[in-house]
Structure 1
Amino acid sequence: MEIKELTTLAEMTSQLELIRQLYPKMTFQKYESFLKEMIPHKYTQIAVFDNNKCIGITGCWFSTKLWSGKYLEIDNFVVDEAHRSQGIGKMLTDFIEQKALALGCTNIVLDAFTTNFKAHRFYYNQGYAPKGFHFVKILDKDGLT
């Protein structure tokens, strides 16, 4: 297995099949449009490949907040259904942690849906814990992926 940081639009859009396991309604046009907005804001993806097939991927970006200083945010974390419980997720979080340390981040943050108990257990096992609530007010439910 090989882990690689994806930095170009072409590298990222070629992983749409795996992203659709997380967001089944994601179209190529929407994915490409979102990435074009995200990439200029330091968004990259970390991907695990097995025989040139992407079997795990997460997006990440870093910024600064007043309460914490520089932080790295994990976004859109998915491991191929056929490869779960094989250490792929840990490979991704370990890579992210090293990237955050190299960037001088004080912490790593992420969101997990309240009903995604498998993700909660995984993140707890990786040393993550809830710090607060991420409140959301949906303004256009048809615009959600």
Structure 2
Amino acid sequence: MEIRELKTLEEMLPHLAILQELYPELDQGNYERMLQNMIPNNYAQIGVFNDEKCIAISGYWLGTKLWCGPYLELDNVIVSEAARGTGAGKLIQQYLEQKANELNCSIMVLDAYANNFKAHRFYYNQGYAPKGFHFIKILNEDGLT
């Protein structure tokens, strides 16, 4: 397995199928429009490839907040159903932790759905712990994927 950085629209678009495992309604047009908004705002992706096939993907954001300084946020860590248990998720975690350290980030953060207990267990095992609640207020339900 090898990790590749995906920083451009052209590098990210071919891997929509992995994201559709989590977001089946996400189509090419909407994905492209979202990426066009996200990439200029410190968003990139990494992919895990096995024999030239992308088997896992994670977006990440780089930012700074007053309470913690520089941080790296994992966004939509998805390992294809067929590749679960291969270590691809751990490879993503290790790679992004190394990147965060190289960029002098104080913390790494992520969101996991409240009912995704397998993800909770995985992230606890990787050294993550809940710090608080992530509150949302839905303003446009049609805008959610």
Q: TM-score range by the shorter chain?
A: over 0.9
**Alignment correspondent of 1:129:** 129
Encode CA deviations 1:46-74: one digit per residue, 9 max, x unaligned.
Answer: 11001111001000011100000000000
**Alignment correspondent of 2:117:** 117
TM-score (normalizing by structure 1): 0.98
**Alignment correspondent of 1:98:** 98
1:127 Cα deviation after fit? 0.6
**Alignment correspondent of 1:42:** 42
1:43 Cα deviation after fit? 0.7
**Alignment correspondent of 1:6:** 6
Structure 2, gaps ≥5 residues long: none
Encode CA deviations 1:11-59: one digit per residue, 9 max, x unaligned.
Answer: 1011001010011100101100000000001111011001111001000
**Alignment correspondent of 1:53:** 53
1:96 Cα deviation after fit? 0.4
Q: Distance in 2 between matches of 1:25 and 1:125?
A: 31
**Alignment correspondent of 2:15:** 15
Residue 79 of structure 2 aligns with an amino acid whose one-letter code is V
Residue 38 of structure 1 aligns with an amino acid whose one-letter code is M
Residue 137 of structure 2 aligns with an amino acid whose one-letter code is K
Q: Distance in 1 between matches of 2:85 and 2:129?
A: 20
Say which SS state the counterpart of residue 15 (structure 1) adopts: helix
Q: Distance in 2 between matches of 1:143 and 1:70?
A: 29
- Count of matched residue pairs: 145
**Alignment correspondent of 1:71:** 71
Structure 1, gaps ≥5 residues long: none
Say which SS state the counterpart of residue 14 (structure 1) adopts: helix
CA RMSD of aligned residues (A): 0.6
